[in-house]
Amino acid sequence: MPRSESSSVQQARQMLADRLRELAKDAGLEGKGLAALCGWHPSKVSRIATGKTRPSEDDIRIWCTACGAEDQVPDLVASSRDVEGIWRTWRRLERAGLRRSQTERLPLYERTRRFRSYGSWAFPGLLQTYRYTEDVLRMIQKQRVALDDVADAVAARMERQRVMHEGRRTFAFLIEESVLRNSLSSPEVHDEQLAHVVTVIGLANISVGVIPARRRRTQLPVENFWIYDSTQVNVELVSGYLALTQPSEVEAYADTFSRMAEMAVHGAEAKELINRARQAIL
């Protein structure tokens, strides 16, 4: 797994290492003795025990067997998978195509009641029109995905938008003004996208804020992110995305979102910025 500065990743890795080290201690085993039973070099035991190396599932099974704790294997393997799940590379997530990345997050969307989303380069997926989504996903597919399942991926994203009209959910979207002018699709499609956002502004359960380019900032632009209730943040990076669940990290992104919201304009002012962008296209 690629190294990440996320404290969620580091903490989850360390918790797994601590549990493995406790099993060895309970079994009365130390570095060299445990290494001999596992058939490893002592340095490997040390790296795993200190959290410097994430053990493979086979490593966990061998370690537990050496400690006489085979019953702990399922829980520890699940913990290891949780660590891996915090950081997902696009290559790994999209190796079976783009549709999977759209469908596997649907359960998260369905159980969330309060959505907050910030976009620095594109409209959030829940606000996208069919043709805008198609152009954005086609660009992504050409850049990094061999399999062409764009049509299925677009359909999956459109189906996911039903959460905006089901149940008692609220949505707060913040976008940089530059998003209004980014040429990710044809002028016709982009104008259609802008017109769609105008129709969304003012709906009872949806808030759309635009951060003016000329406004004095109290918060620098950051990477695209989503906050799901107060339990999880997904952050989109160049090489993949983070799924953060540590309360301190979720709070940090919530604070960032609040500062962004204070800089943004809403309602009629947001519509005015959008309409200016539309006029520039025509």
Residues contacting residue 57 through CB under 8 Å, at least 6 positions apart: 77, 80
Residue 235 φ then ψ, to 5° = -120, 125
Contacts of residues 25-34 at CB distance under 8 Å and 24 or more positions apart, as own/partner, are 26/67, 26/69, 27/66, 27/67, 27/68, 27/69, 29/66, 29/67, 34/63, 34/66, 34/67
pLDDT score of 3 more than 50: no
Type and span of the H or E element at 232: strand 232-236
Place 202 in a pLDDT band, splitting at 50, 70 and 90: confident
Closest CA to 208 of 159, 268, 161, 259: 268
**Percentage, residues of the chain above pLDDT 90:** 76
HEC string of 51-64 equals CCCCCCHHHHHHHH
pLDDT digits (tens, 9 = 90+) for 13-63: 888 999 999 999 999 999 999 999 999 999 999 999 998 888 999 999 999
pLDDT digits (tens, 9 = 90+) for 169-186: 999 999 999 999 998 999
Q: Are strands 114-119 and 232-236 parallel, antiparallel or unpaired?
A: unpaired
Closest CA to 131 of 146, 145, 105, 150: 150
DSSP 3-state of 89: strand
How far is residue 82 CA from its own chain's centroid? 14
pLDDT score of 81 more than 70: yes
Place 4 in a pLDDT band, splitting at 50, 70 and 90: very low
Place 244 in a pLDDT band, splitting at 50, 70 and 90: confident
| Distance between CA atoms of residues 127 and 22, nearest Å | 48
Domains and CATH numbers, the chain: 7-86 (1.10.260.40), 94-281 (3.30.870)
